[in-house]
Every structure is written in C-alpha cells, then in structure tokens.
Amino acid sequence: MAIDPSANDPAASGRKGAPIFFQRQEFQRLLALYGRMVAAGEWRDYSIEPGPEACAFSVFRRASEAPLYRIEKRPALARRQGAWAVIGQGGMILRRGHELDQVLRLFDKGRFKVID
C-alpha cells in the first residue's frame, strides 16, 4: 500500500478543514521515544490531538496534569521553519525542524534531563 504524501496536507489534497494525522512511520518513531521515556520513569501517559491545522502528540508525567511536552506536526510550516516542533509546558518552542528525527534529538540521553 503506497502512502500519499499529500494525505496530511489539506491544501495539497484540496480538502479544507480535514484533520491532520501522523503517518505510520512518524507514529512508530513517537511511540519508540515514548516507550524509552516510560522505561526511564520520566513519562507516564500520552494523548494524540488531530486538528485541521496540526496534529499533536502530548506526553504527561501524570494523566491529571498539563502535558510536559507537545510534539506537533504542522504541514503548513513545512517550507518555512519546518513542520515539526517540540513545545514545552509554558508554550515555548524548544526545537523546530523539517525532520522528525532531528527534532526528537532533544530527548537523546545526555543532551536532556528532566529537573523537578
């Protein structure tokens, strides 16, 4: 089964307001990171929020709190700053880029540490 690259871009497909979703490879990469961070005891829950402009993968320390991080995909910004962004608790953009792996390097061991 071929994946249409325009499937997540409402402008390219002609569908206005169609929700944005992660592609299978993107979602697998996000879940691999999530599993690693759960094993390290840093994260405990996640949510996925598709929308007409962006899709967000939010991670939580506890399900009852605000998300620690949101990993967003915004196809409209793909040609400018990049479609991917990691957003912290206060809404600050911690990293932005064109490739998901490049953006997720923020969470690599040794480069990043959660401070209570």
* Residues 30-41: tens digit of each pLDDT: 999 999 999 988
**Residues forming a β-bridge with 48:** 57
How much is the pLDDT for 65? 79
Task: Name residue 85's beta-bridge partners.
Answer: 72, 96
- φ/ψ of 77, rounded to 5, equals -95, 5
pLDDT at 2: 44
Distance separating alpha carbons of residues 90 and 12, to the nearest angstrom: 32
Take residue 29 and report the two structure tokens written for it.
Answer: 């990469």
Residue 82 vs residues 4, 52, 79, 103: alpha-carbon distances, Å: 19, 17, 6, 10
Q: Residue 112 corresponds to which tokens in the numbers above?
A: 């990043």
Helix boundaries (H) for 6-110: 10-13, 24-39, 100-104
pLDDT at 107: 86
Q: What is the mean pLDDT of each run of 10 residues along the chain (116 residues)?
A: 47 62 93 92 91 93 85 89 90 91 84 57
